[in-house]
Amino acid sequence: MIREQIGPVLLYRFEGLNDVSGLRHAVLTRIGGVSQAPYATLNLGHTVGDDPAAVEENHRRAMGAVGLCQRAVVSPHQVHGARVGVVRQAHLGTVLPATDALVTNAPGTPILMRFGDCTPVFFYDRVQRVAGIAHAGWRGVAAGSVGATVLTMVTQMKSDPADIWAGIGPAIGPCCYEVGPEVVTAVQTACPSGADLARAVNGRVYLDLPGAVRSQLRAVGVQEIEASGLCTSCRVDEFFSHRAEGGRTGRFGVIVELTQ
């Protein structure tokens, strides 16, 4: 990924999308805001216990760094499910209830989602000009959020999976994601057979969540996949991590917009 500092705000961009005309995107970090610990500093989560005024200022800074108006975005209320929202300009400034993926083919309709260990999955269809983001924690993977997003692009926007580029953003990695056997079973059941997603170390089991996302993308025909390789738990200097920070932390934002 491409690491970039814009004023106080640190962000990343996928190499595969960086030179795409008519598209803007960013993976924001925790750097560049005003929130105090444990939400320091660029927390974009409204429901984690942070000072609302600080969160508003963080949104102003984050949107400014990406070149957007603070309130002219669409966001979902993420619930670890597989509901996909199709976004139009009429949705600008709204929050879609109980939704874990958003897709759009409408220029000028930026999507903002928030993360703190779960996997952000970016989608872009160069042919039909469709962009989207999915929220894929282990529950989302088990529920099928990745495949549901691609299916929505295919059935409602005429995408061909072979034309879809996907980016796997910063998420908790297999180095750090210790889980119970019920989580492994749920994820492996939802992924293609033969996917090697768990490893045991000294009696503990670690799950490869980005690997599970990759396997589901390939299973629905997406072949062009770029993975960030960034573990949020290892990199709490730049990202929020619910697991590494004991459940009391902020959320970093991810953004995508068709600009023309």
At 117 the pLDDT is: 98
Residue closest to 251 by CA, chosen among 181, 170, 188: 170
At 118 the pLDDT is: 98
Residue ranges of domains in the chain, CATH in brackets: 2-258 (3.60.140.10)
Query: Which residues have C-beta within 8 Å of that of residue 254, sequence separation ≥ 6?
Result: 25, 26, 27, 28, 112, 113, 114, 115, 120, 122, 133, 169
| Distance, CA of 51 to CA of 49 (rounded, Å) | 7
Q: How many Cα atoms sit within 13 Å of 137 on the Cβ side? A: 18
At 42 the pLDDT is: 98
At 185 the pLDDT is: 96
DSSP 170: S
Helix and strand numbers (H, E) in the chain are 6, 16
User: Token pair for residue 24?
Assistant: 């803007």
Q: Answer yes or no: are the C-beta atoms of 40 and 237 closer than 8 Å.
A: no
At 46 the pLDDT is: 96
pTM of the model: 0.97
pLDDT in tens, 13-54: 999 999 999 999 999 999 999 999 999 999 999 999 999 999
User: Token pair for residue 2?
Assistant: 């491409």
Mean pLDDT by groups of 10 residues along the chain of 260 residues: 98 96 97 98 98 98 91 94 97 97 97 98 98 98 98 98 98 98 97 93 96 98 98 98 98 96
